[in-house]
Structure 1
Amino acid sequence: MASAASVTSLVDEVNCPICQGTLREPVTIDCGHNFCRGCLTRFCEIPGPESEESLTCPLCKEPFRPGTFRPNWQLANVVENIERLQLVSTLGTAEEDDCPEHGEKVYFFCEDDEAQLCVVCREAGAHAAHTVRFLEDAAGPYREQIQKCLACLRKEREEIQEIQSRENKRIQVLLTQVATKRQQVISEFAHLSRLLEEQQGILLAQLEKLDGDILKQQEEFEFLISGEIYRFSTLVEELEEKNERPARELLTDIRSTLIRCETRKCRKPEAVSPELGQRIRDFPQQALPLQREMKKFLEKLCFELDYEPAQISLDPQTSHPKLLLSEDLQRARFSYKWQNSPDSPQRFDRATCVLAHSGFTGGRHAWVVSVDLAHGGSCTVGVVSEDVRRKGELRLRPEEGVWAVRLAWGFVSALGSFPTRLALEEQPRQVQVSLDYEVGWVTFANAVTQEHIYTFTASFTREVFPFFGLWGRGSSFSLNC
């Protein structure tokens, strides 16, 4: 048992330099000194000439920042143990192994009452009918139980630590993807801004030219129309004057005057020529290059931000003999008639499945599968690990290296550890499968409505392959590549 002097000496070592009392919730700052959390917090809040950035340690005057002090759990445990020793020393100097009731040394353990006994306690009537053993004998089975519990707890702790490591990696990958997308958006919109400015200049220049041509034709029109108005005004004045004269003067050269008026040719100029009018009507066509560039921009932006379309084909070396593959290896149909397919280690012999010819070891990829179940049956789509079982029964679940969904007549199921029937707005006929290898996501969506179907989360370490399965007469699928 620790002496009172040694306990006092330890107490002095765990005092707070600010309040001079025992440390409460000890925290450590950058220089290594420890203080009560409350004392240090209040110290940081005291107004003074220093700003928060120039706070200094109350002991060594080293600068520190308020947000950098961290809990010192080991020191907190030491303080707790010292206080426990203080309590024991104040209760008396009795030996720890002595019975508190009789003062005799404790040798036995009562399993019924879970009580430690001395010789006097054991002989007492209260424990006469109980199972009493020596301390070490009684402790043995409990030590074994503790070891088993420790093994289980350590294993579970390791699993949790693995989950922590995996999820932290996933978060870092996602952060990297977001940062990359941010740069892509900035770059693409900067390019679009330059393009829009250039196209704006082109269109405005064309409009300026149209404006100048219209004004030029307006001047020409005004000149021509003014001449016609003058000519007709002259004839009108001549006839009005003729009409006011006496009959003798009116009849003089009347026939030539009338012939000159009747045979006049009236020119009716147009303010805007047909050619210029057609140019004005065709002006919207000048924006077609911009429209094409905008379409290319949106397609490229969506491509950069979304999954890369995968160009895949079926691998006949893996196909089950009941699957009929098309010559272009883009379609498959179920048949009860076995094909004459040579056996190989890569071929499925029980599960009516087929893999894509190429797999993925990284990146973000997507492909679309069109499913035809008009005559019943089912179709399974997803991805599998390269070491997936090819011979014998294949259990379609993540534990076996399979991440897939099954489409059957009237329902869709996610093939997890236990199949889960999914509630969807409509039965998908085209399924988009998206793989994010680094993050570990396998996502399924209705390729037509974009309705989300299901997402698996995994941790890929091997190459994974697009996976397809069929069952039932007339069931088929095709790849939309």
Structure 2
Amino acid sequence: MALAASVTSLADEVNCPICQGTLREPVTIDCGHNFCHCCLTRYLEIPGPDPEEPPSCPLCKAPFRPGSFRPNWQLASVVENIKRLELASRLGSEEEDVCQEHGEKIYFFCEDDEMQLCVVCREAPEHRAHTVRFLEDAAGPYREQIQKCLECLRREREEIQGIQSRENQRTQVLLTQVATKKQKVISEFAHLSQFLEEQRNILLAQLESLDRDILKQQDEFDVLVTREICRFSTLIAELEEKNERPARELLTHIRSTLIKCETRRCRKTEAISPELGQRIRDVSQQALPLQREMKIFLEKFCFELDYEPAHISLDPQTSHPKLLLSEDHQQARFSYKWQNSPGNPQRFDQATCVLAHDGFTGGRHTWVVSVDLAHGGSCTLGVVSKDIRRKGELRLRPEEGVWAVRLTWGFISALSSFPTRLALEEQPRQVRVSIDYEVGWVIFVNAVTREPIYTFTASFTQKVYPFFGLWGRGSSFSLSS
């Protein structure tokens, strides 16, 4: 069997590219490829698109001269040897059907010893008590087993191919997400760099202004002090001169001289005003907004880097007739007046709910819902499975394919198997809903304070859609990413 396979492989190597058969009188052209002499002759008889151009090789399209091909005697010898090997292989395969011990043709198969037997072997004492059948009869059950194995193997191969296809798609999705996040990193840091540059310029401008004001006040102080020093020097000289005079002259206008001494205090003892000093201390306070902005940026950036913002819109085909949707399908408001909505299988007929137009079959996605319950209504937010019940009563719990929370006036509840009232520091007005399809998380967070609200753990097997419900006059919500 190994010899036959090797001979077949060799025979494939000496085939003519034109007739696909074994080379006959092989000839070689300029590019080195080999063809049958007769095949190449017929090929040259076919006129080309441009009679002036030389013919091209049928295999590699390289031009060659019609009179340049030459016989390849060495390859012709190889072809002859391969033909002899093929003949020997066929004779050997015929000999395999003959018993090596008795020279008789093999007809039987011993199932006990798993041996192929001729007529003489069949009558041997060691096989008389065994189960012996004709070759085709014995091969039948084994063919059935092989067929079953083939079916199982093909089925498993299809499953593996399906897994490969799914994982390849998932890989492409992840690569797309990475590319998107890469662009987001570049964009966000460009905005941050611009913001930091603006803040740096503002702070430097304030510091430069302080520097100028300090120097200005220092100059003013120096001028004033110089004048005061001159005034004091004049008083000192006048008093020294007065003190040297005789008593009669000393006492002349002595009061006015002493009064000048009483007003000798310096008019200004500080170079820098208290107001300017306060401005210098306030410079550090200018960095507080920058610190807050950086904190918000990092929290938002890290969250959005982990979850892809979902630009969702409401599907009017699913909306209950009591819900009024905005023209851009980004807002909904409850109304007791029924809308003239055509009936269809997708529309909710009892639960005042609406789904997003597009759903998710993988990945991490997030969106924000702003809720207004001015008149004491309620709003339900979350995700639902594709086959959620649209007609009749809708049970809002995970067992029915609903993972949601409900906001009412004054409190919020998680709609688990048994609704659970949640204790939060603040009633949220903006709720961020996030889904991690592969992990199976549905996360609710206060979009303003970042306070966690509730997290569902599920195992998603089909497409899921963002889900919204409203009840109560004037209750409404709007979407953002």
Instruction: Go from structure 1 to structure 2 and tell me whether the alpha carbon gap of 1:346 and 1:455 turns closer, same or farther (over 3 Å shift).
Output: closer
- Correspondence for 2:441: 443
With normalisation by structure 2, the TM-score equals 0.54
State the secondary structure of the residue aligned to 2:212.
helix
- For residues 39-438 of structure 1, the aligned pairs below 5 Å read 95-245=95-245, 247-264=247-264, 266-284=266-284, 286-287=286-287, 290=290, 294=294, 297-298=297-298, 301-302=301-302, 304-305=304-305, 306-308=307-309, 357-358=355-356, 360-362=358-360, 364-366=364-366, 383-385=384-386, 387-388=387-388, 434-435=434-435
Paired residues of 2:353 and 2:467 also in contact (CA < 8 A): yes
Contact in 2 for aligned 1:403/1:442 (Cα 8 Å): no
CA shift at 1:442, angstroms? 3.5
Decide whether aligned partners of structure 1 residues 441 and 3 sit closer, same or farther in structure 2, where only a CA change above 3 A counts: closer
Contact 1:444 1:453 (C-alpha < 8 Å) held by counterparts: yes
Deviation, 1:245, is: 5.0
Partner Cα separation in structure 2 for residue 192 and residue 210 of structure 1: 27
CA distance in structure 2 between the partners assigned to 1:3 and 1:294 by the alignment: 75
Task: Report deviation, 1:264.
Answer: 4.5
Q: What's the TM-score once normalised by structure 1's chain length?
A: 0.54
Query: Who is 1:79 aligned against?
Result: none
Whether contact under 8 Å (2:359, 2:465) holds in the other structure is no
Partners of 1:435 and 1:189 lie apart in 2 by 26
Cα 1:10/1:269, change in 2 over 3 Å: closer
Q: CA deviation at 1:178?
A: 0.6
Following the alignment from structure 2 to structure 1, what is the Cα–Cα distance between the partners of residues 352 and 151?
42
**Structure 1's 467 and 152: CA in aligned 2 closer, same or farther, altered over 3 A?**
farther
Give the Cα separation in 2 of the matches to 1:152 and 1:304. 45
Relative to structure 1, is the Cα distance of residues 8 and 282 closer, same or farther in structure 2, using a 3 angstrom cutoff?
Answer: closer
- C-alpha distance in 1, partners of 2:106/2:277? 116
Q: How far apart in 2 are the matches of 1:202 and 1:3? A: 87
Aligned CA distance change for structure 1 residues 368 and 7 (closer, same or farther; 3 Å): closer
- Conservation of the 8 A alpha-carbon contact between 2:384 and 2:401: yes
Q: What residue in structure 2 maps to residue 465 of structure 1?
A: 465
TM-aligned CA distance change 1:94 to 1:110, over 3 Å = same
Q: CA deviation at 1:176?
A: 0.9
Does the 8 A contact of 2:436 with 2:442 survive in 1?
no
Task: Show CA shifts across 1:241-261 (max 9, x none).
Answer: 444555455444433322332
Alpha carbons 2:310, 2:367 under 8 Å: kept? yes
Call closer, same or farther: CA 1:467–1:249 in 2, change over 3 Å. Answer: closer
- Cα deviation digits, residues 133-179 of structure 1 (max 9, x gap): 11111111221222222112111111111111111011001101111
Task: Determine the C-alpha separation between the residues in 2 that align with 1:32 and 1:149.
Answer: 47
In structure 2, stretches of 5+ residues that fail to align are: 15-30, 34-59, 63-81, 321-332, 335-343, 370-381, 405-416, 418-427, 446-450, 469-476
Counterpart CA distance in 2 for 1:3 and 1:158 is 33
How far residue 228 of structure 1 moved from its aligned partner, in angstroms, is 1.5
Partners of 2:311 and 2:160 in 1: CA distance: 35
Conserved in 2, the CA contact under 8 Å of 1:384 and 1:467? no
Mapped to 1, the partners of 2:195 and 2:3 lie a distance apart of: 85
Alignment deviations for residues 9-46 of structure 1 (CA, whole Å, 9 cap, x no partner): 9658769xxxxxxxxxxxxxxx999xxxxxxxxxxxxx
Matching residue's letter, 2:235: L
Cα deviation, residue 194, structure 1? 2.8
Cα distance change of structure 1 residues 124 and 450 upon mapping to structure 2, 3 Å threshold: farther
Deviation per residue, 1:194-232 (Å, 9 max, x gap) = 332233223322322221122111111111122122222
Q: Which segment drifts farther, 6-15 or 158-167?
A: 6-15
Determine which structure has more spread, i.e. the larger CA radius of gyration.
Answer: 2
- Length, aligned pairs only: 351
Letter in 2 for 1:195: F
Distance 2:288 2:355 in 1: 41
Compared with structure 1, are the counterparts of its residues 196 and 123 closer, same or farther at alpha carbon in structure 2 (3 Å cutoff)?
A: same
Structure 1 residues 5-44: aligned runs within 5 Å:
11=10
Indicate the percent of aligned positions where both proteins have the same amino acid.
Answer: 64
Residues 124-133 or 296-305, more deviating: 296-305
User: Which AA in structure 2 matches 1:174?
Assistant: L
Whether the 8 Å contact between 2:346 and 2:390 is mirrored in structure 1 is yes
